[in-house]
């Protein structure tokens, strides 16, 4: 079972999300929270696989909670929920270590699929979040050279995998493109995340963009 936390200051929103996830036979909502600190406390003290976090909550926002969860409860992966067009918070959430970013009007099937995908270690971004958004909010000339220095520690195979991660490919797609077994892709991904000191593949993808890896 995928154990899920729902964090939102609106009880009605929490109830709606719970009702959606209850329809999945492999997902169990094990905790709820009305603010960021309560969400972080729950993740520290319970076995939670995926935390669904609203961006704006009184008493502690979801993005601060994402950073805390990444630091203090690294086994838990986070999905941030927000309203359409909140570009600034997309950048903050990705930098904080979020494994997914969805709009609040996401359909039930897509929400369940996102929970499963993020639980499996693969990122999920709302379709409206494109490479242009990453370039506009996350890239800067000052970031390029430090990113390239960090990538210098990777092997050629790890660099190839990272390039595909930066393009948004799943493990299965990377395996097919690079003619590798999925298990080999996962092994390369695990090693490159450790070398780059990245919490998850979303942060690694940002680093690949920063370094201009997708332009080569």
The structural domains of the chain, with segments of one domain joined by +, span 2-134, 140-215
CA 108 to CA 156: how far, in whole Å?
Answer: 40
Within 10 A of 176 (CB to CB), how many other CB atoms are there? 14
Indicate the SS3 state at residue 206: helix
End-to-end CA distance of the chain: 41
pLDDT > 90 in the chain, percent:
52
Mean residue pLDDT of the chain comes to 86
Which of the four CATH numbers 3.40.50.1400, 3.40.50.1820, 3.40.50.970, 3.40.50.2300 does domain 140-215 have?
Answer: 3.40.50.2300
Which pLDDT band, with edges at 50, 70 and 90, does 42 fall under?
very high
pLDDT for 119-141, tens place per residue? 988 777 665 554 445 555 455 55
User: What confidence score (pLDDT) does residue 26 get?
Assistant: 96
CATH fold for the domain made of 2-134: Rossmann fold (3.40.50)
User: What confidence score (pLDDT) does residue 130 get?
Assistant: 44
Is there a common fold for 2-134 and 140-215?
Answer: yes
Which pLDDT band, with edges at 50, 70 and 90, does 25 fall under?
very high
- Bigger pLDDT: 199 vs 86: 199
Q: What is the CA radius of gyration of the chain?
A: 17
User: What confidence score (pLDDT) does residue 120 get?
Assistant: 85
Measured CA distances, 158 to 8, 77, 207 (Å): 38, 23, 13
Measured CA distances, 189 to 147, 185, 194, 202 (Å): 17, 6, 9, 12
Query: Three-class SS string for 134-191?
Result: HHHHCCCHHHHHHHHHHHCCCCHHHHHHHHHHHCCCCHHHHHHHHCCCHHHHHHHHHH
pLDDT for 103-114, tens place per residue? 888 889 989 988
User: What confidence score (pLDDT) does residue 205 get?
Assistant: 83
User: What confidence score (pLDDT) does residue 29 get?
Assistant: 97
Within 10 A of 48 (CB to CB), how many other CB atoms are there? 22
- Bigger pLDDT: 27 vs 167: 27
Alpha helix positions (H), the chain: 11-21, 36-45, 62-72, 87-96, 108-119, 131-137, 141-151, 156-166, 171-178, 182-196, 201-210
The pLDDT of 138-147, averaged and rounded, is 70
Q: Which of 34-38, 157-161, 163-167, 199-203 has the lowest mean pLDDT?
A: 199-203
Phi, psi of 99 (to 5 degrees): -95, -5
């Amino acid at each position: 079972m995928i154990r899920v936390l729902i964090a939102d200051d609106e009880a009605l929103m929490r109830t709606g999300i719970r009702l959606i996830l209850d329809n999945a036979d492999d997902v169990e909502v094990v905790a709820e929270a009305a603010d960021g600190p309560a969400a972080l406390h729950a993740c520290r003290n319970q076995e939670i696989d995926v935390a669904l976090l609203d961006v704006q909550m009184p008493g502690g926002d979801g993005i601060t909670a994402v950073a805390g969860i990444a630091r203090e409860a690294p086994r838990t992966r986070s999905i941030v929920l927000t309203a359409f067009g909140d570009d600034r918070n997309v950048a903050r959430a990705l930098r904080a270590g979020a494994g997914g970013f969805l709009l609040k009007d996401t359909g039930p099937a897509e929400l369940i699929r996102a929970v499963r995908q993020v639980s499996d270690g693969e990122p999920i971004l709302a379709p409206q979040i494109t490479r242009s958004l990453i370039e506009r909010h996350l890239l800067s000339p000052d970031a390029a050279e430090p990113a390239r220095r960090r990538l210098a520690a990777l092997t050629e195979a790890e660099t190839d995998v990272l390039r595909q991660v930066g393009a948004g490919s799943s493990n299965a797609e990377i395996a097919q493109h690079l003619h590798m077994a999925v298990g080999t892709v996962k092994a390369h991904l695990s090693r490159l995340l450790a070398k780059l000191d990245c919490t998850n593949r979303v942060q690694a993808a940002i680093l690949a963009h920063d370094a201009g890896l997708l332009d080569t």
